[in-house]
Amino acid sequence: MATEEQSLLQGFKDLWSDRFRLLDSYHPYVRRESPLTSWSAADVQEFIASNPTHGPVLKKTRDAVKFLAVGGIVGAMSTAAFAWKYSKSPHGAALSLGAGAVFGMSFGQEIANHSLQLYKLDTMAAQVKFMEWWQKKTQGHF
């Protein structure tokens, strides 16, 4: 019985480690003794201009955030207004506001994914390259 439980537990660990494999790429930057210093939009623009491979990908990734923000705002306001109009319930409108924001951001992400063709790009690699670049720059390796 104990071996069955151990194998089942190991199966769950393997399943979830496969699902969150992306955390392996960010591991050197997330689990640090001292966090990376903050960067500004100018620093990101400098990376975009200096890296012809990953710079344009990072720019598209940052442009996609605008789609998410607009989708979240439109989704939140429209569902909250609809809920308030028909129920006049403050807690229902608040829940609709939150759910609408999540749904709107999801739709915004899909719109950005297709309109900017992010599905063809390795956006995670571009973000990791930026963090590598920023770490080297802030530690004086440039």
| % of the chain surpassing 90 pLDDT | 52
Span 97-123, average pLDDT = 93
User: Cβ of 134: how many Cβ atoms within 10 Å?
Assistant: 19
Which pLDDT band holds residue 2 (cuts at 50, 70, 90)? low
Q: What is the mean pLDDT of the chain?
A: 85
pLDDT of 10 > 80? The answer is: no
User: Domain-by-domain residue ranges, the chain?
Assistant: 39-138
CA distances from 123 to 23, 55, 56, 75, 129 (A): 14, 10, 10, 25, 10
